[in-house]
Amino acid sequence: MQSHSTTNALNTLAEELVVVLQDALEEALPLTEREDTDLRDLETATVAAMKRVGQRFLRLLIEACQPMEPAETIACRCGGTAAFVRYREGTIITLVGQIRVSRAYYLCDDCHEGTYPLDEKLGFCAGALSAALQEALAMTGVHLPFELASDLFERLTQVAISDNGVREATERMGQDRLEADESLVEAAWDLQRLELPEGPSEPPKRLYGSIDETSVNTEEGWRKAKLGSWYTTDEPPLDERQDEWEPRAEEISYYGDISEAENFGRLMYVTALQRGAHRAEELIFIADGAQWIWNLVEEHFPNAIQIVDWYHATEYIWKVAYAVYGEGSDLAEAWANKRLTELWEGQVEKVISACQAHVNPDQEDDPVQKAITYFQNNWHRMRYSEFRAQGYQIGSGTIESGCKRVIGARLKQAGMTWTLQGARQVIKARAMFLSDEWDDFCQQRQPLRRTYCRAA
């Protein structure tokens, strides 16, 4: 049941909003008398009116969140007591535009720090963007170049934010995620704390992991951006189409960064725990033949089933065929197809034997010898007939498409050059969005806090 003071406050809010709405309606009504007025004109007037009403509505709601009469003193963060000084106005830019809010200001005589209880309660900083506006801007910034994102955002919301403002919001979101990832890794590797993620209550039966890398142009030159993913796959059909079925990735989580392999391996380890890898019935890792990737897998996931991407393996066969018989020749195609059949059946030793017959010891950087070394190093990851019989994926298309979606589509457009930190932040933010973790992360973000100190 509402108190008398609450009822009075609601009535006051309603009366003020009615006045604002009446003023907006009086301004818009002349449009209805013009012969050239169309629906677009009426929509534009409506949006402008709703923005004015929204600004007033939000300001009234914010101010209603503080007591009618301020307390004389409040506890200060330093342990002392802060005394009420006066009401102060502050500006905040929100999803409905810029608004000015009056709130109680307190000052502590001990630490000389001022504070606004309303700012602390609602989680905003005077003179800054609201959290909701930051998150909305960052969402456009992870998809579009910042200048285009700024233009689109203004068209859709009637709130003008510069391209630099979009960049800052996007990088801030990415930085928050970067710091969260670093804290997660630090807690897991701190022998005093040893805090490990618990993972889901119901671990997956079969969990896949994969890692790849791509290049990003930065002010420090081209840098390798690493991307990891964890995902599950769909179940095979129960009808006669089962023989033609190929597992498809589901519930994909991406984790990206520009970092050393050791640090990235640690990130993959803690995120694996978050996805329940340590309690999964089967853990499968798919990647190309890069040795640094398999070194990380051996270190952090020694019990994982290791699979070299089928398509990368086939590329080596075609390189040998072209080197020996000439690109496009019938002999090259016939030789390659026979080797592909052997590889498909997991007969890696036959592939190696066939390649050995064409080694050219006099040729430097011989592609045939490269292929032999590749197959010898990865033969245990090429048991494709066994893998297919178990219903495993044998291709790393999930992570390769992830590199294009998460990194390439946003950071590798024509003419783009990034600061190293900016690239890391955008990769973090975009990976989070494409992993469907955006909303949960935004709910957990700590609001920015501004300190107000006076000299003693």
Q: What is the pLDDT of residue 337?
A: 97
Residue 373 carries which DSSP code? H
How would DSSP label each residue in 244-284? Answer: G----EEEEEEEEES--HHHHHHHHHHHHHHTTGGG-SEEE
- Per-residue pLDDT reduced to its tens digit, 45-94: 998 899 988 999 999 889 888 888 999 999 998 899 999 999 999 999 99
Average pLDDT over residues 11-35: 87
Output phi, psi for 38, to 5 deg.
-125, 180
- Per-residue pLDDT reduced to its tens digit, 351-390: 999 999 999 888 888 999 999 999 999 999 999 999 999 9
What's the CA gap between 348 and 4, in Å, rounded? 83
Q: What is the pLDDT of residue 448?
A: 67
- Per-residue pLDDT reduced to its tens digit, 111-125: 989 999 999 899 888
Q: What is the pLDDT of residue 300?
A: 97
Beta bridge partners of 287: 308
Give me 160's structure tokens: 């003008």
Average pLDDT over residues 139-153: 97
Whether the Cβ atoms of residue 445 and residue 270 lie closer than 8 Å to each other: no
Q: What is the pLDDT of residue 363?
A: 85
How would DSSP label each residue in 379-403? Answer: GGG--HHHHHHTT-----HHHHHHI
Domain positions in the chain are: 1-64, 312-381
- Per-residue pLDDT reduced to its tens digit, 388-437: 999 999 999 999 999 999 999 999 999 999 999 999 999 999 999 999 99
Give me 280's structure tokens: 């999964």
Q: Lowest-pLDDT range, 239-248, 280-289, 339-348? A: 239-248
What mean pLDDT is reported for the chain?
A: 91
361, burial (CB in 10 Å: exposed 0-12, middle 13-18, buried 19+): exposed
Q: What is the pLDDT of residue 64?
A: 86
**pLDDT tier for residue 187 given thresholds of 50, 70 and 90:** very high
Give me 155's structure tokens: 């068209």
Asked whether residue 1 carries a pLDDT value surpassing 50, the answer given is no
Asked whether residue 242 carries a pLDDT value surpassing 60, the answer given is no
Residue 410 carries which DSSP code? H
163 or 127, which is more confident? Answer: 163
Give me 73's structure tokens: 């003193």
Distance, CA of 141 to chain centre: 12
- Per-residue pLDDT reduced to its tens digit, 286-297: 999 899 999 999
What's the CA gap between 176 and 446, in Å, rounded? 9
Output phi, psi for 280, to 5 deg.
-70, 145
| Residue position matching structure tokens 């930051």 | 134
Tell me the C-alpha to C-alpha distance, in Å, between residue 307 and each of 227, 251, 283, 290, 299.
18, 20, 11, 12, 16
Determine the length of the chain.
Answer: 456
331 or 363, which is more confident? Answer: 331
Asked whether residue 456 carries a pLDDT value surpassing 80, the answer given is no
Give me 364's structure tokens: 């430097």
Identify the helix (H) or strand (E) that includes residue 176. helix 163-189
Which amino acid, 74?
I
What's the CA gap between 204 and 213, in Å, rounded? 26
Percent of the chain beyond pLDDT 90?
A: 75
Asked whether residue 4 carries a pLDDT value surpassing 70, the answer given is no
What's the CA gap between 298 and 290, in Å, rounded? 13
**pLDDT tier for residue 6 given thresholds of 50, 70 and 90:** low
